[in-house]
Amino acid sequence: MGISLEMPRMLNVLLLDADGKRVSTKYYDPKMTSLEKQLAYEKMVFSKTRANNARGDAEMALFGEHLVCYKFAADLHFYVTACDEENELIIAMVLNAFFDAVSLLLRGVVEKRTALENLDLVMLTIDELVDGGIIMETDPNVIANRVSMRGAEGEGAPPLAEQTLSQALNMAKEQITRNLLR
């Protein structure tokens, strides 16, 4: 076990439910292309982590040569895996970006039903997060903007920084109305 000399590469990004079933998954590992291997891997990771309390901060574990960072929220389990030579904190950064971006796009309601109802957003988040194993972006706001194609309509789109601010305000507004309506 040495340390990686190449650019960081993720092996997979997983979103499972509270029973370990797939909500959305993406594999970048050429050794894990078959469905059986993938499901076996998900089962192993799920069963070995489910007992842990990973609801606050992201947790970390090493399974064989897979370094897995994970975090749970309600009935959703988020996982990001890289090889054991990778810098743990980079994997954690990717996981947090994944979680935060999904959380932004689902407007704070991070649970299985909303995730399935907005599965397109979840899939696009993964697509904007990692491309073929290479980390694309880790700022959750930027990811959320790209997923929702903000700035794609019309030409002179407003600068990115302003967008995030206005989006944040909108989000807050919406969150409040949502809570009031409940």
Partner 1 sequence: MVETAHSLMPENGKKRDEDSEDGLELSPFWGIEKGAVLQEARCFNDSQLDTRRCQQVITKLLYLCNQGDSFTKTEATEVFFAVTKLFQSKDTNLRRMVYLIIKEICPTADEVIIVTSSLMKDMNSKIDLYRSNAIRALCNITDAGLLGQIERYLKQAVVDRNAVVASAALVSGTHLLKVNCEIVRRWSNEVQEAVNSKGPFVQFHALALLHQIRQNDRLAVSKLVTQMTRSTIRSQLAHCLVIRYVFQVIKEGSSCSGENRGERPFYSFLESCLRHKSEIVMFEAARVITELTDVTIQELQPAVSVLQLFLSSSKPTLRFASIRALKKVALSQPSSVTCCNMDMEGLISDHNRSIATLAITTLLKTGNESSVERLLKQIATFMADIQDDFKIVVVEAIQSLCLKFPQKHRVLMNFLSSHLREEGGFDYKNSIIQSILCLIKEIPEAKDSGLSHLSEFIEDCEFTYLSSQILHLLGEEGPTASDPSKYIRYIYNRVILENATIRASAVCALAKFGLLCPVLLPRTLLLIRRCLYDNDDEVRDRATFFVAAMQDRTFGADGLESHLKYHLCALESSLSEYVSGSTSSSFDISAVKCAPRENIADPDGVLDLEGNSHPNLDDGFDRELQDAERSVASIVQFSHFGPIFKSCIAVELTEAETEYKVTCIKHVFKLHVVFQFKCTNTIKEQVLENVSVAMELLDGAGCFEECASIPLESMPLGKSGSTYVAFSRVEGKRFSAKFACTLKFTSKEVDPISDIPEECGYEDEYTIEDVELSLLDFMCMTPLSNFRKAWDALPIETETANEYSLGKRESLGEAVETVTKVLGLQPCEGTGAVPPNARSHTALLSGTYVGDVALLVRLNLGIDVSNEVALKLTARAEDASVSEVAQLIVSEA
Binding site for partner 1 (CB under 8 A): 1-8, 17-19, 22, 24-25, 35, 39, 48, 51-53, 57-62, 69, 75, 87-93, 105-107, 112-113, 116-121, 123-124, 127, 131-132, 134-138, 144, 146-149, 151-153, 155, 157, 170, 174
Q: How far is the CB of 7 from partner 1 (least distance, A)?
A: 4
Nearest residue (CB) to partner 1, 25 versus 32:
25
Nearest residue (CB) to partner 1, 11 versus 121:
121
Closest CA to 16 of 117, 139, 116, 152: 116
Nearest-angstrom CA–CA distance, 82 and 72: 18
Q: How far is the CB of 41 from partner 1 (least distance, A)?
A: 14
In 3-state terms, what secondary structure has residue 125?
A: helix
- CB 140 within 8 Å of CB 163: no
Nearest residue (CB) to partner 1, 52 versus 65:
52
Beta strands (DSSP E) in the chain are 10-17, 22-27, 59-63, 66-73, 76-83, 130-131, 134-135
Cα 178 off chain centre by? 24
Cα 101 off chain centre by? 7
Nearest residue (CB) to partner 1, 53 versus 179:
53
Q: How far is the CB of 22 from partner 1 (least distance, A)?
A: 6
Q: How far is the CB of 162 from partner 1 (least distance, A)?
A: 16
Nearest residue (CB) to partner 1, 83 versus 151:
151
Q: How far is the CB of 113 from partner 1 (least distance, A)?
A: 5
Provide the total of helices (H) and of strands (E) in the chain, helices listed first. Answer: 6, 7
- CB 112 within 8 Å of CB 75: yes
